[in-house]
Amino acid sequence: MRKFLAIDIGATSGRGILGVLDGGKLTTEEIARFPNRIIKEDGHWMWDMQALYEAVIAALKTVAERKIDIESVGIDTWGVDFALFGKDGKWMRNPYCYRDPYTAGEPERFFGKVPAEKVYDITGIQVMDFNSLFQLSALRREDDAALKEADKILFMPDALSYLLTGRQVCEYTIASTSQMLNTRTREFSEELLEALGLKRSHFGEMVQPGTTIGTLSPEVQKLTGLGPVAVKAVAGHDTASAVAAVPAVGSNFAYLSSGTWSLMGIEAADPIVTKESRAMNFTNEGGIGGTIRFLKNICGMWLLEQCRVEWGDVAYALLIEEALAEEPFGILMNPDDSRFSAPASMTAAIRDYCLATGQKAPERRGEYTRAIFDSLALRYRQVFGWLRELAPIPIEKLHIIGGGARNRQLNQFTANALGVPVIAGPVECTAIGNIMVQAAEVDSRGIIAASVQTETFTSQDTRTWDAAYEKFLRITK
């Protein structure tokens, strides 16, 4: 019996998940949960670093109090954000949050130094204002005092691991979200660092998922009551950990990490950086075992979640019942249209989109919900088609992981739209991937497949969905 602790921190909350491997099967238990709050400091949105550190310490204390003999602990978080540390080893201020608007317009400014086409050719990463590259560019342009004095720049999971061990490293998967790595060499691009006025020494030693960073420092051992437990670099980017938990057999599959936002992609041996991939806005991020997560971001359940805010958080089961009573494909839209990114009212944005595209505006909750489900499934088909064009392997099925794996109706619609089997589960994929990287089992995916429940959806009513897709393309062109 082997036991591990996964610290999984998202943009709103974090959890401590105990993983137990016994007889070739994995079981998990949540032993800690804590908020991750964005705080306002000096006019900027920041992360509360002290609160996060204390929450991790509290989770480790729980392990000690329960006398659980863990082999190791690993930390994963969201991507792109980082903490600045001085020569004395102390963090210099709370890290900026990617939601802070200080990077607005920064990509265009940076492209005056290094053209956009060259940045994509080097990194293979899609352009988003909040990527680390543009955060650092904005700080440098503003002559930020902390950055000027910083000795080390550590991405969030690496910063927390450093506070536990005293060793400063740079885990590959989290670094790959920064848009500063050369996607072919898997190291920082000297050209991009030079454009930022930075050196390679500003970042820790590059390590791969599964590397032992060190053990809990004497101070942390005293705080928690634990001994010299190993701290491992897992797939530090939460999506990389989630993809590591896909219970797939073979390699000819795509995955859809489904939640508020969706990410559809494949695991590739090498980066895919072409004019076509850039035009389709695909990105190349690091995965486990030296793989590349070639994927595209898609709006997920964000649209419905924002509608539910206006409707008083009505239950999903009732909304699905109401949606199934509505006309199929009566209203279709591109879920990734810019007007849906952060509207004051999502229902108003959907109505405006419908009127602008010559469709009737929805009136009932069921109409909105049906339109969202139909449109998401058809958007998934579109991206799946692009993925098949670009992928070096045949793609025969789609694995849906994350919270969206619970949505059986959307899973069925997705199978109908794609025309391939859709396998849903597990839901707790990020923590599972984190744990399995710590365990370093040879047949990791086989163990996951034997330990979790999945459900397979096969395509139905193919001709109707083919016709609906043609309508979707006409409306969203």
Render pLDDT for 168-208 as a digit per residue (tens, 0 to 9): 999 999 999 999 999 999 999 999 999 999 999 999 999 99
Which residue is catalytic, options 76, 100, 238, 374?
238
Query: Is 238 in the active site?
Result: yes
- Is 390's pLDDT higher than 90? yes
* Structural element, H or E, at residue 112: none
pLDDT of 280 higher than 90: yes
What is the percentage of the chain residues whose pLDDT exceeds 90? 95
Alpha-carbon distances, residue 85 vs 39, 234, 395 (angstroms): 20, 22, 44
- What single-letter DSSP state applies at residue 398? E
Pick the CATH number of 2-236 from 3.30.420.40, 1.20.1250.20, 3.40.140.10, 3.20.20.80: 3.30.420.40
Res 229 pLDDT > 90: yes
* Boundaries of every domain in the chain: 2-236, 237-477
Confidence of residue 341 (pLDDT cuts 50, 70, 90): confident
- SS3 at position 440: coil
Percent of the chain with pLDDT strictly greater than 70: 100
Task: State the residue for tokens 């707790």.
Answer: 428
- Which helix (H) or strand (E) segment holds residue 376: the answer is helix 365-390
Which pTM was predicted?
0.93
Is the N-terminal amide bond of 271 cis, ω within 30° of 0?
no
Are 2-236 and 237-477 the same fold in CATH? yes
Q: Is the pLDDT of residue 313 over 90?
A: no
CATH of the structural domain 237-477, one choice from 2.60.120.260, 3.30.70.260, 3.40.30.10, 3.30.420.40: 3.30.420.40
Residues 6+ positions from 467 with CB-CB distance below 8 Å: none
pLDDT at position 12: 87
- When pLDDT is cut at 50, 70 and 90, the band that residue 261 belongs to is confident
Report the pLDDT value the prediction gives residue 366, as an integer from 0 to 100.
98
The structure tokens 């709370």 sit at 94
How far is CA 54 from its chain centroid? 24
At 338, list the tokens.
């810019």
